[in-house]
Amino acid sequence: MDDEGLYLQIASQTGASLEGDASKSDLDSDEDYEEEDGLVGKDLLPPPIVAYDKEDPPMVVGSTYLSMGQFKLALSHYAIKHEFEYLTKKSDPGRLRVYCSRKVEEGCRWRLHASTMDDKVCVKVTHI
């Protein structure tokens, strides 16, 4: 199959040449795109807006926090306010699993799973 012949036919139909003009026009179009929209190399979705009461943070499925550090701080405030202690089962930069420290003694079944979202920074509660 003659691939080069296919491209020459398309170029002759559109009036474009395959010499140096095509590569120059490609560069110009990228620059125009960047100047007009300002979107080249930038995220299309802004980070989520997270607002919560720092004295009584929500711990429900779907709650979001700006970082793992802020989430851990909110979790500790929540535990103090609701008078319970928790132990960490798994913790790494992308996830946190905790459970009630009175699980064995009192049969407490409370546990929580949270993980980072697609941006790898914001944290979302996925299971309670």
Buried b (16+ CB within 10 A) or exposed e, 15-48: eeeeeeeeeeeeeeeeeeeeeeeeeeeeeeeeee
- Give the pLDDT of residue 58: 86
CA distance 113 to 56: 19
pLDDT < 50: residue spans in the chain: 17-36
- Identify the burial level of 95 via C-beta atoms within 10 angstroms of its C-beta, where 0-12 means exposed, 13-18 middle and 19 or more buried: middle
- Give the pLDDT of residue 53: 72
- Give the pLDDT of residue 57: 85
- Give the pLDDT of residue 54: 77
